[in-house]
A and B are shown apart, each in its own frame.
Chain A
Amino acid sequence: MKNRASSHLIALVLIFGFQIAGYYAVYQAALLRGYEPTVVGAVRDLALFAVLFGVVVWLSRNMKFQGNWVLFTTAVLLFSIGSLVQYRLYSDPEYNSRNKAEARAEKTEILRRRYVNQFYGPDKKKLMGMPDNPEAAQLQVSEAVARRSNITAGSALVSYNTWIPIIAFLALGVAFRLCNSDNFLNWVQRHSFIIVLITLVPLFAAVATSSAGKALGNMTPWEPSKIPFLLGFAGILTAYYRDLAKTYWGMPRAQAIVPLFVMALIPFFPFFVLQDFGQLLVFSGAYATLYLVAVRRWPQLLLFVGSMVLVIGVLVVGSLPPDTQAKVPLLPTLSKPVQAVLPARIKQRFHLWLDGFNPPSPDVAWWKKDYQDALQREPRMKELAEQSPGMQKTVNVDVWFDRIAFQPAQATFGIASGGWTGRGLGLGFAEVIPVADSDYIYAAVGEEMGLVGGAIIMLALIVFVSAGVRTAIDARDMFTKLCAAGLTAFIGFQALVNIGGITRALPMTGITLPFVSHGGFSLITSFAMLGMLLAFSHRNARDLRPAKSPRPNTRPRAGAPDPLIPEAVE
């Protein structure tokens, strides 16, 4: 594919066409499954493509975009898979309903009545107590199918689901415009430390108002703060990377490493308080990547990798189940202090990851509360649990799979039932997985589109990261290079941490799949990051061919003093 706006516009049109097929598949499948999905929602989702076409036209016409279109098209592809899967889930009355059992019963009832009307003779219907008048039967079928979701055009216009993607596309445009200007980038680089500090102020406000890692209902308004943090770190690293590269006994000097260290640690505090360990993980990954890219010194690399392995090792050792620990000599003694320090949530996540199919003993501190709570609610279960140890074990397994392990277990079963090509859009049972629209969207993809769907997402991510890395490689100055690398690494690692959590390759963290997941601030942030990457890519291309078309607002010609620090050539 040529890197031209027109070819990528065609690609976008093709994606749009396939998207229509996908929505129609969901609609058909939904009718078979006993509910009628909202048409307004589908039209709304498809209409968002008009905005995307508008973005393409704006980029190519108004902005004279010369950068890498692959970044944009790949992101749109991921976004369209996400919106289709979300549409399928939201249409299902069972998924959204407060009373899931009731919604499910209604669905099955419709299917059953339809079956009875079609295949049962009059004598059977009479025994069942159903009317055998064919017109009445017809009426019942149509009544049943008419149970559609109550989204009207009016409510669609004011719904979050309409405006958040539009805001995200706007954010893309704004980010592109800003990062396209040298003045802005210079300003950011010069004031990176202050920017980071200022970001902390609203963030702490968010922390103060949040509960259980969520604020403003079910939102994570601190998501956009990832961008200033990354910019800040890239700025500091750009200022110090030469000093950091001068090592003594394999180590850089303290005066160079301390500001960097401080900068790197800043985001950790709010995210630790928010218990958003997924973000922490991704931040550490992105920062380590940036550092290693900027300062390539073997001893430091070894130190980094070594300390990473150590931290992971300590975490794993600390959260292994007690009976496994007892098998290895010295391990219980080693893990005791770690266990004392680790937050309950991390222990729980590690248990789910390493031994998720087996519940912990009901005496384990972090599980005890949930377990007791479940027994409180069902006095009969409590009675049973008290009868004998064997019974308690059974009850424990049941409570475990009804509570903490419910979501990951259902996701795993879903992925397993997907096989190669999945059950087909709308034909699986992805609605049984809680929050399958955001954190667990990969499980829904795995169930309904199977390994092929998973491979499409993986390949899209690889293409996106390659294009992002290309942008970083082509960047002419260290700051944009590191920014591009940091943003790419962040999006890539975030996706892997999410997917890894679902496929049990990593512990599950409450982090979204960029572009694919439903999510207010996270979607906006992802598209803003995309806008920045596009801007960096555009700058590279513009600098490659400076003579072709002189534009206003471009950086000075060669020979004039360069405000940015030139690329390091060692």
Chain B
Amino acid sequence: MFLLQAIPEKQPALLSLIYMAGLALMILWLAVGLLRAMRRRRYSVGGVTPADLPAEVRERLGTTSTNRGLYALRWFFVLLALSVFGFHVYWARYAEEKNERFQELSYKDLRNRRLSESTLRGWILDRTGKLESALALYRVGDGGRIRREYPLDREMAQLLGTERGDAGLERALFGIQSGAVPEALDVALNKDVKQPANLDVQLTIHGELQKAVVEQLKDRAGAAVVINPQTGEVLAMYSNPSYSIGEVQDESTWIRFDTDKRNAPLVNRALRSYYIPGSTFKTVTMIAQFLHGTHNEKYLCSGNGYYAQPGAKSILDDGGAAEVHGVIGVDKAYEVSCNQYFAQAAVKLGPDKMKQAAALIGIGAYEDPVDATRGRRQTEIWNVSTPAIARALAPSEATIVTKVGMRPYDLAIEGFGQGYAGQMTPFQMALSAAAIANLEGKLMKPKIEMNVAPQPFHQVVTPDKAAQMRRIMGLVNDPKAGGTGRGVFMALSNSGLVTGGKTGTAQKDVPEYDKNGEPRTVKKYERDRKGNVIREYQQIVISEEKRIDSWFLCIAPLEYPQVAMAVIIEGGGYGSKAAAPVAAALVAKARELGLLGQAAQPGAQQPGAQPAPPKPGARQPRRSPTPAPVANGRVAQRR
């Protein structure tokens, strides 16, 4: 009875077209017959007028006033019917494109949900490709119903997304684009019917590593991004607090989460929250230096501080006048995180060169500070198979301000991650680290699907310079040097894993929140000179206590990095205190999972004796060990 054809809907669609065509023909036939009859006896007055009268007289006798009224009624009705039909045409053809309110409300259309419910989505697998460790699958649940389950629910919620709000991977991978459901005519003509892809998708996320990130960020607000710098594969990305996908099926819970701006469980901080990068931004300045060949410059770092311009505040290090580094090069400056050095480096480079370097690693450089705060969604950075996925994961573009003739002081503080550099996302900082960690000095576009070939975003620096920068990053964690990450990474270093990193600490003004997590506001009045109120507005109250965010960038293993990560802990204090231990734990976990390659296994090698790193360009995405799912005619080929 049920035969699955190429498009099973074809037969009923064809039949209903036949039905409609038949009825249309019938009604046209009737209409034509009526028209001809009307022409034949336009003014029939039948028995009233004697048949022997001349035609014109009969005609005039027939066109009584009453009958003229009736003719008018007919045309009036035709006019009314056509104008009512015009409304039908509007809704059927134009509302979807023209009517904004109608577009906004399309989520109220029950049909969309029906469509997505009736087709099974593909399973989402993690990078191991094992069905057992699927991230999203179907199970027969209570009551014998098949339902979607997420073994890593909270862990993956922000990446997978739900049916509400902005689309996550679930909807991007399997979502039904509006208008994808074809009209009967398209089905009957076998037109390219866009059906939702319901093949399994293998992500680059490693489930176990993702779990480890969640474990590390437990009870702390923050985010972590782990990327393979050689291929751009995103191994883990998590933002805490998160939410449970099952929980937000309930609308009121979702609304409550949506209003909670303090904990913001629905926001993926890794992609969409702006933070002041603090010292981690020195990585970007360093890249700019190497890019433009000013990395051999030495600058003085004195107790008086650095005056970027006459009359400006002097730039000091965290230790104030007591922290003096003397005349140092970039390696020493990065190791001890010297503000004065990078301030001078940025001023020396100038806005134009900073801008060039920023553009190469995906940071937007704007002339106008207002443009820099717009928070554009940066879809072009992703290496994806469909634009929907890029939209679902698009980070808010990290920005700096660079303008020819800008105040040197502004440029100077930007150089060490303050001022206009305060619009960084954890994702962007991970990419900055990845640019250095790439053996060829390229920034690879991040990707989340296993089967997409790696793609470079830009060639940032030469391989040689990248290696130099890696060496400098290594100083931070080097047990023999005086870097800020030394202590935390001591255990890893002792077990033979050489890593590189950078700490960062930033003070951020944050609003005060009420009990629902909404920012507290006060009413403010704008007055004219006489004191009359011109305008009344709400201003967000800024908390007096600044939040100290803790950052850490990390690459490991140093010689042929397989992970590049950024960790931020909101209110965590110094970078080495909160974020660095998280990064160290994640590196250890990645090694345990074999993500760092065989060579990095504990005890396998002594530092400095690693074999030649595999050619990064030749690195292929790992194939899934599971057999490819059955494809059928109605499914678009994704894999």
Interface residues of A (CB under 8 A from B): 1-3, 11, 14-15, 17-19, 21-22, 24-26, 28-29, 31-34, 68, 70, 73-74, 77, 80-81, 84, 104-105, 107-109, 111-116, 118-121, 123-124, 127-130, 141, 145, 289, 292-294, 296, 357-358, 378, 380-381, 383-384, 387-388, 390-391, 394-395, 398, 401, 409-410, 412-427, 429, 432, 446, 448-456, 458-463, 465-467, 469-470, 472-474, 476, 478, 481, 485, 489, 492, 496, 499-500, 503-506, 540, 543-544, 546, 558, 566-570
- Find chain B residues with CB under 8 A from A423 CB: 181, 183-184
Q: Judge whether A391 and B259 touch: CB under 8 Å.
A: yes
Tell me, in angstroms, the Cα distance from A355 to B97 when the chains sit together: 19
Number of B residues, CB within 8 Å of A: 101
- Find chain A residues with CB under 8 A from B26 CB: 11, 14-15, 18, 73, 77
**From residue 12 to 60 of chain B, which have CB atoms closer than 8 A to chain A?**
12-13, 15-20, 22-24, 26-34, 37-38, 44, 46-48
Q: Judge whether A70 and B88 touch: CB under 8 Å.
A: no
The verdict on A485 contacting B70 (CB below 8 Å), with A26-B12, A107-B118, A115-B119 known, is: yes
Q: Judge whether A426 and B92 touch: CB under 8 Å.
A: no
Taking A77-B27, A455-B85, A496-B81 as known contacts, 6 extra A-B pairs with beta carbons closer than 8 A to each other, sorted by chain A number, are: A1-B33, A22-B15, A74-B30, A413-B108, A420-B185, A421-B17
- Find chain A residues with CB under 8 A from B256 CB: 384
Can you pick out 24 interface pairs between chain A and chain B where the beta carbons lie within 8 Å of each other?
Answer: A21-B19, A25-B12, A68-B37, A104-B114, A104-B117, A109-B145, A128-B146, A141-B2, A296-B68, A384-B256, A412-B102, A415-B92, A416-B91, A416-B95, A419-B92, A419-B93, A424-B16, A451-B89, A452-B24, A455-B85, A473-B71, A500-B87, A543-B47, A568-B66
- Find chain A residues with CB under 8 A from B93 CB: 419-420, 451
- Find chain A residues with CB under 8 A from B140 CB: 128-130
- Find chain B residues with CB under 8 A from A34 CB: 118
Tell me, in angstroms, the Cα distance from A395 to B256 when the chains sit together: 12
Q: Is B632's CB within 8 Å of the partner chain A?
A: yes
Q: How far is the CB of A459 from chain B (nearest CB, A)?
A: 5
Tell me, in angstroms, the Cα distance from A497 to B437 when the chains sit together: 71
Q: Judge whether A463 and B31 touch: CB under 8 Å.
A: yes
- Find chain B residues with CB under 8 A from A567 CB: 48, 64, 66
With both beta carbons as reference points, the residue of chain A lying nearest to B111 in the complex is identified as: A429
Q: Judge whether B22 and A17 touch: CB under 8 Å.
A: yes
Q: Judge whether A476 and B13 touch: CB under 8 Å.
A: no
- Find chain B residues with CB under 8 A from A427 CB: 9, 12-13, 16, 184, 187
Most chain A CB neighbours (cut-off 10 Å) among B4, B27, B48, B111 = B27
Q: Judge whether B255 and A384 touch: CB under 8 Å.
A: yes
Tell me, in angstroms, the Cα distance from A129 to B143 when the chains sit together: 13
Closest 8 CB pairs of A and B: A1-B33, A25-B15, A18-B22, A424-B184, A293-B69, A503-B87, A425-B16, A29-B12
Tell me, in angstroms, the Cα distance from A334 to B256 when the chains sit together: 42
The verdict on A116 contacting B120 (CB below 8 Å), with A32-B8, A413-B109 known, is: yes
Contacting A472 at CB < 8 Å: which of B17, B19, B70, B626?
Answer: B70
- Find chain A residues with CB under 8 A from B546 CB: none
Tell me, in angstroms, the Cα distance from A334 to B155 when the chains sit together: 59
The verdict on A3 contacting B37 (CB below 8 Å), with A388-B259, A567-B48 known, is: yes
Q: How far is the CB of B263 from chain A (nearest CB, A)?
A: 16
- Find chain A residues with CB under 8 A from B101 CB: 357-358
Tell me, in angstroms, the Cα distance from A19 to B27 when the chains sit together: 14
The verdict on A111 contacting B118 (CB below 8 Å), with A15-B26, A419-B183, A485-B70 known, is: yes
Tell me, in angstroms, the Cα distance from A394 to B259 when the chains sit together: 11
Q: Is B359's CB within 8 Å of the partner chain A?
A: no
With both beta carbons as reference points, the residue of chain A lying nearest to B134 in the complex is identified as: A127
Contacting B114 at CB < 8 Å: which of A118, A429, A455?
Answer: A429
- Find chain A residues with CB under 8 A from B88 CB: 415, 446, 451, 454, 499, 503
With both beta carbons as reference points, the residue of chain B lying nearest to A465 in the complex is identified as: B77
Q: Judge whether A425 and B19 touch: CB under 8 Å.
A: yes
Q: Judge whether B92 and A429 touch: CB under 8 Å.
A: no
Q: Is B370's CB within 8 Å of the partner chain A?
A: no
- Find chain B residues with CB under 8 A from A141 CB: 2
- Find chain A residues with CB under 8 A from B77 CB: 462, 465, 469, 489, 492, 496
Most chain B CB neighbours (cut-off 10 Å) among A409, A485, A567 = A567
Tell me, in angstroms, the Cα distance from A115 to B123 when the chains sit together: 14
Q: Is B328's CB within 8 Å of the partner chain A?
A: no
With both beta carbons as reference points, the residue of chain B lying nearest to A543 in the complex is identified as: B47
Q: Is B80's CB within 8 Å of the partner chain A?
A: yes
